[in-house]
Structure 1
Amino acid sequence: MARVLVGVKRVIDYAVKIRVKPDKKGVVTDGVKHSMNPFDEIAVEEAVRMKEKKIASEIIAVSCGPAQSQEVIRTALAMGVDKGIHVEIPAAEYETLQPIHVSKILAKIAEKEKIDLIIVGKQAIDDDSNQTAQMTAAVLDWPQATFASHIEKGDKELTVKREVDGGMETIKCKIPAVISADLRLNEPRYATLPNIMKAKKKPIAKMTPKDLGVDISPRIEIVSVEDPPVRQPGVILPDVDALVGKLKEGGHI
């Protein structure tokens, strides 16, 4: 049976309206509701289902960030994950943490914990990078199956259906491997109250990037964060001729 590592990220809740800070160096996070990245919830659910099918022997959830990141680890534990690892990163350094840093951290933990399968969400809804799975596979030199919408486990390989621009693609990859979860892979369960209580007793190990030998020095500088331009209001035109005339004028509809 496989040992599974799942990446979980704490992000501003998808239902919250984002506000840019007055200094335009980021978005307002203080006093704002946060939750687990929705695609990471799908990754956790898939790992738990694998354990229920006796495919996985143990599931470890990893989150990088400040102390509040433990909240999403506890959520994962309540969903059925066995233990958590919190890679502590101060808020100031977390601002410039990139997928390349997270990938190296996940790779080091995978080697340390003798992991067979890494599952992460295909992207985080805050930065939409869609890079962590691919970079982690590259660092480890493991096969990757991204945008997975269905996973089947064979003896020593996985059969993965993945969504591509032209439709669906089915691939096979050997284990160990890295998978990124797409929206249609599953529907995450809600954590029950008894499982939430049990999660409080499950262990969360703490470590730092330095403990893992990973340098998280910033490779980027945030120059400016701005709201998208306000969309111009539409106009109602009486007929097709008026529409064609407006388009010829180069006007906005």
Structure 2
Amino acid sequence: MTTVPVLKLNNGVEMPQLGFGVFQVPPPETKAAVATALKAGYRSIDTATAYGNEAAVGDALAESGIARDELFITTKLWNSDQGYDTTLRAFDASLAALGLDRLDLYLIHWPLPRRGKYFSSWKALEKLYADGLVRAIGVSNFQPSHLRRLFDEGTVIPAVNQIELHPYLVQRELRAFDAEHGIATEAWSPLAKGGDLLREPAVTQVAERLGRTPAQVVLRWHLQLGNVVIPKSVTPARVAENLDVFGFTLTDADVAALSALDRGGRTGPDPDTFDLV
């Protein structure tokens, strides 16, 4: 079984650098997909209230027979639940859906800066962390301006910032800001969307030279940058393929060539303006 390296978060908790995501995996397919991932060797599973599949993830975990302390489970607070009391209730609901008595990582899914509730939500996460119900707390899609408010008014520095990140959107400045403050950067949509990235000559030429797939090359790029990465798939062969990225190394020139694909283009919403509740 593949041994996935771990990153030590800013509170000392160890998080696998490569995990399995279930974004847009329909609930009826989620249980089988997570079971496949766990059998392949994944131990970090990333879900969210908004995905509607926490219960299916929980069913797969319960039936896996894997000891709880070998797993790293992340879920996220949805936008409509922001606010101190509503965050605490949402956390309890997620925990119940997952069938767990604690989480490894709980994230605020989006900052929604115009609504001004993310800080009260963060105070609730700080309470959950202090009470030992979650091992680490963090955010998703937060920009430096949002993070600075947490630094100025909160008591806990986020352990993780999960953001859209791939060679078309390298996020150099935000990654540097996270690193400066001891925050691990986690990539969602690590292979971008639509498949164009995996057909780029800068990717395919490296893949051909190394005898790897384009997806493996891009995932390896993430790992060598120090990102946490959570690819998803419901195809068993691809689930295994995405985990098989530790037996080769990209050269510095390879990493630079993929990074040069950056065009600052998002496939998802802009965190400064996104306001969906």
Same-fold call, TM cutoff 0.5: no
Q: Which has the higher strand share?
A: 1
TM-score normalised by L of structure 1: 0.29
Higher Cα radius of gyration: 1
Pick 1 or 2: higher relative contact order, CA cutoff 8 A, min separation 6: 1
Q: Which has the higher helix share?
A: 2
